[in-house]
Chain A
């Protein structure tokens, strides 16, 4: 489903990616692990179309992301990709429900009932009308997950989703992701530096210094 070929990313100060090749198929749960500076976040951003590579290509479902223009990318993104970040980026003056509906708005039209159901699915049915400031870290991430998945994307990209959470919440979030992954059938690519978190996936890519150095299958 995802094909990455010869990806290079060069900044003024450093080289983030030095030539990455990989293939990810449908319904996989891939974890990417590595020390900070290894380029894993950069790789994720490029796959998600949030950044452009200096060289190389990324193809998702046959469409070359790296060649698309900004607006084209936006359209592709909203129909196919969901994002969860380390920081829960939520609009502070909108409630949890409204944040999810915002994602619906950019995609097509708003459907309050559907948004409610999505939030209930992630266990926040009782916190619909609370603002992000009134929610705990774990709850905020759950809203982010609901928002990321509301448009039924084929791909979920998560960049250190549990980085700011404690042990208990980390586990809860990962359990949730596992359930959703099993039920909805999307592909997850999860970036982390925590081996425990990485272990939840089915496949582990280890990165160092802008290159993939290991590609192993977990839990056979």
Chain B
């Protein structure tokens, strides 16, 4: 009581009517929670989408009837926002360990640069020049495990085999699953195709997709450029639709919340009409009386925001977990936004009723004419 009597009085007032306060807190937290989950999901979804995009693979492929030189890859790297993966396809003969039946001894091999391997979903580590990655299906078919040895040669009759160690397993949807991936230059060496690649895979961001394809087609006329998967594009559109829907729902909920809180505030204030008149007879100015109530609204706002923040984050995680089987990172901006909205809702909805009430003359209230 010593330092800040108004806080003390407000605290007592709040403790007096816990149910009413609780309801108001819930109302505020609903709006805040929806807002928080929307921001988190929207922010996280985009990032998730980008990650998913990487797992699904490239969305355009550059090829020609023959091998492409590495110079083409260099040209493509100049393009902003395009991830370029030159790949060399070949087949190598696996000899030695494993339970593979005879006809599976020729393995599909993809040579790609080490930096490109970072984009893959790998269980294990990126292979050095003495190591390879094997596809999931190959792993299961051959019963291989990480750290096992593979003997590979250019063809099965060759006596010169080279030993590689399996450094990990990669996930890539498609026929590559039953093959291996090794470092590009190494494969070029083994196959005697120095400086050549079979294709160049591109990952172009969905927004620039059409334009970039056009540009590339005009700058590389003899070379075929094809989009491979349209998955990411349609997902992008879906995301936008979801966001719009959530926005509408958000507005509705916020409005509902504001109306609820405003209604509760108004009824609270009208209930305490006599208290207000009493404060006036004690010589309280409108501002002093308003401070009392606005402080209460403020505290309700803070509590509601806090609750809404927590429920919103939980809800967001639930949504992303069910849709993408992953949790989402919480953008820090969400915290101040939550508090801002929550406090604004609760304070603003109390003000109209407050202004009306403090304008009354005390005698009217005390006489009971209200």
Which residues of A are in contact with B by a Cβ distance under 8 Å?
41, 45, 48, 50-52, 70-71, 74-79, 81, 83, 85, 89-94, 98, 101-103, 105-107, 110, 112, 147, 151
Contacts and interface: CB of A to CB of B under 8 A. Distances in A.
Interface stretch (B181-189, B311-319, B361-369): B361-369
A188 to B, nearest CB: 16
B14 to A, nearest CB: 10
A76 B284 CA distance: 10
30 contacts: A41-B367, A45-B363, A48-B281, A50-B280, A50-B363, A51-B361, A51-B363, A51-B364, A70-B361, A71-B287, A74-B280, A74-B284, A77-B281, A77-B282, A78-B282, A79-B283, A89-B274, A89-B278, A89-B281, A90-B278, A93-B13, A98-B9, A98-B12, A102-B279, A105-B6, A105-B9, A106-B284, A106-B288, A110-B5, A151-B283
B275 interface: yes
10 A-B pairs with the lowest CB-CB distances in the bound complex, closest first:
A78-B283, A51-B363, A93-B16, A50-B363, A106-B284, A77-B283, A45-B363, A74-B285, A50-B362, A71-B285
A89 B367 CA distance: 12
Interface of B: 1, 5-6, 9, 12-13, 15-16, 274-275, 277-288, 359, 361-364, 366-367
B363 A106 contact: no
Contacts of A151: 283
Given A50-B363, A89-B278, A106 B283 contact: yes
A105 B5 contact: yes
B282 A103 contact: yes
Contact of A70 (B12, B277, B286): B286
B361 A74 contact: no
B12 A94 contact: yes
Contacts, number: 78
Contact of A91 (B1, B6, B275, B287): B275
A76 B280 CA distance: 11
B1 to A, nearest CB: 7
Nearest to A80: B283
A151 B281 CA distance: 13
A89 B366 contact: yes
Nearest to A94: B12
A51 B360 CA distance: 10
B215 to A, nearest CB: 70
Contacts of B288: 106
Contacts of B6: 105
A110 B280 CA distance: 17
Nearest to B6: A105
A93 B361 contact: no
A101 B5 CA distance: 9
A83 B278 CA distance: 10
A140 B288 CA distance: 25
A75 B288 CA distance: 11
A105 B281 CA distance: 13
A90 B5 CA distance: 17
Contacts of B275: 91
Contact of B1 (A48, A71, A90, A110): A110
A42 to B, nearest CB: 8
Given A85-B366, A93-B16, A78 B284 contact: yes
Given A74-B283, A103-B283, 6 more contacts: A51-B361, A75-B285, A78-B282, A93-B12, A106-B279, A107-B283
A141 to B, nearest CB: 14
Nearest to B281: A83
Contacts of A76: 283
Max chain B CB contacts within 10 Å: which of A74, A83, A101? A74
A41, A91, A98, A147 interface centre (most CB from chain B within 10 Å) = A91
Given A106-B283, A110-B1, A94 B9 contact: yes
A85 B288 CA distance: 22
Nearest to A48: B281
B87 to A, nearest CB: 76
Most chain A beta-carbon neighbours within 10 Å: one of B5, B275, B282, B286: B282
